[in-house]
Amino acid sequence: MSVAPMAVQFKRSERLQEVARLLAQELRVALGEGPRELMGMEQGAQQLARVVMGMVMEEMANEPAAALPQSCEGCGGPARVVERGRPRVVHGVVGSWVVRRRYLYCARCKHGFAPWDRVLALGVGRFSPLMERAMSRAAIEVAFAEAASLVGDLTGTVVADEEVRRVAEGLGSVAEGEEQARASVVARSERLEPGPCLSDTLVIEADGCMEHVDGDWHEVKVGLVAPLGEQLVMDERAGRLRRVVLGAHYVAGVRETPDAFFARLYAQATALGLGQRGLGHVVALGDGAEWIWQGMDGFFDVPGVELVTIVDVYHAREHLWEIANAVYGRDTAKARAWAERWGERLVAEGPKPLLRALARLRAKTVEGCQAVRLGRGYFEARQDRMRYPEYVRAHLPIGSGMVESECKTLIQGRQKQAGMRWRRPGSQAIATLRARHRSGEWERFWASAPHRRRPPARHPNQVRAA
């Protein structure tokens, strides 16, 4: 049951009013008589609530006397009760309590278990599901130590930063396992069942950024998939109309090969309608990196769908500035005028006039001649992906600013802070969990009870020994 409908049921009945009066008396005894500041009263009420609600949870969560089936969870064979009322301490957002339940043992598979834990959907650690959700939510926004402090301030439960790390990375590994399962289907060239088609056009963008992983700087590949709606909105940066983005979904691959990353990205696109009959166009955006275009052409050039590949216009303009600075002098008025004029003409007329201008351009220095030669090669090789007048008329995006922004916010904003050093599994787990939240999939992820599938975390000493 969700929190909102449940709150409606808790009306101010006479019984609850009597409970409130009794709790107020207890709070007055604890705080002492006389006027108090509101902050002190609220802090005392929070601690009292944790004590009382822990008792409430203990009343509700303990195993009833009615016997549950005594069969093994693994093999289904008979299991015997070895302990009645085995205690398990649970720490939650409303307090701490003890769950007492039967503990069974299966001689066939040498496995001990408590059936009541499955009924309660308890995870493997000492925290309640709601507490693990709060810890992981904080951990995907700020560093683990800060997340532990934040959870303590808000819930009144003291948690260690190492506990926050283990819970968050464990839950992230569950999300990553789901993505890898879908990507492996793509890698085997098998068919994924496509999700509902929300639009006739999908935008797919890819980019990369650097992160300190496994003792050195490595690339993290970031991608997004977003349906395009029919409604037009004004792109304030570019000053032109484009189709509205209906909600982007993000993926990230830490130290991942291009093929593995694009299998992940393709699986996400399939979940958003790729493979459905109603989808007719895929618009692929990226900068000049060759791995991006090899992946876009290799994975998204599928039958029945028109693939439109577009070089990010701002990346193309950066090359114009490099040419202008080399030929006319860095940051001079003449360089600025040339770069701005041809940047506008590139969007309005396409690359052909620019290529003719570059063929006529004569530089007076070796550096300038080399810049012109390299520039001509760059624009000639990518001119089929620079048909900007056509894209603008179709109200398509011509800049990959969304994915470039996500490189900063999704990855660097959390995982590239001062002094941070990561191992790949932990970095990937946090990146995937963070991508789930930013994609609007947080509630659906938690509806699947990921805490039940979180792997048991080893103690830090065990990790060091291993």
Per-residue confidence (pLDDT) for residue 110, from 0 to 100: 86
Bridging pattern class, strands 80-92 and 216-235: unpaired
Task: Over range 111-132, report the average pLDDT.
Answer: 91
Bridging pattern class, strands 240-245 and 95-106: unpaired
- pLDDT tens for 365-378 read 999 999 999 999 99
> Which tokens belong to 18?
């009597």
- pLDDT tens for 171-193 read 999 999 999 999 999 999 898 99
How far does CA 206 lie from the centroid of its chain?
A: 15
Per-residue confidence (pLDDT) for residue 35, from 0 to 100: 77
**How far is residue 201's CA from residue 412's CA, in Å, rounded to a whole number?**
29
Is 162 a residue whose pLDDT tops 50?
A: yes
Is 463 a residue whose pLDDT tops 80?
A: no
> 0.75 exceeded by the pTM?
yes
From the CA atom positions of the chain, what is the Rg in Å? 29
**Residues pairing with 253 in the sheet:** 221
pLDDT band at residue 457 using 50, 70 and 90 as cut-offs: low
Per-residue confidence (pLDDT) for residue 462, from 0 to 100: 38
- pLDDT tens for 71-98 read 887 788 888 889 988 999 999 999 999 9
Per-residue confidence (pLDDT) for residue 5, from 0 to 100: 54
Is 224 a residue whose pLDDT tops 80?
A: yes
Task: Over range 226-240, report the average pLDDT.
Answer: 89
Per-residue confidence (pLDDT) for residue 458, from 0 to 100: 58
Alpha-carbon dihedral sign for residues 184, 187, 188, 189: positive
Angle at 17 between CA 14 and CA 20, to 5 degrees: 155
Q: State the chain's mean pLDDT as an integer.
A: 91
Task: Over range 410-424, report the average pLDDT.
Answer: 93
SS3 241: strand
Angle at 416 between CA 411 and CA 418, to 5 degrees: 155
pLDDT band at residue 6 using 50, 70 and 90 as cut-offs: low
- Among 147, 101, 320, 295, residue whose Cα is nearest residue 208: 295
Per-residue confidence (pLDDT) for residue 312, from 0 to 100: 95
Contact 161, 124 (CB under 8 A): no
**Residues pairing with 249 in the sheet:** 225
Q: How many CB atoms lie within 10 A of CB 233?
A: 12
Q: Would you state the torsion angle of the CA atoms of residues 404, 409, 415, 417, taken in this order, to the nearest 10 degrees?
A: 100
**How far is residue 52's CA from residue 56's CA, in Å, rounded to a whole number?**
6
Is 68 a residue whose pLDDT tops 80?
A: no
> Which tokens belong to 322?
């490099």
Backbone angles phi, psi at 287, to 5 degrees: -90, -155
What is the percent of the chain with per-residue pLDDT over 90, rounded to a whole number? 78
- Among 343, 397, 335, residue whose Cα is nearest residue 371: 335
Bridging pattern class, strands 306-311 and 240-245: unpaired
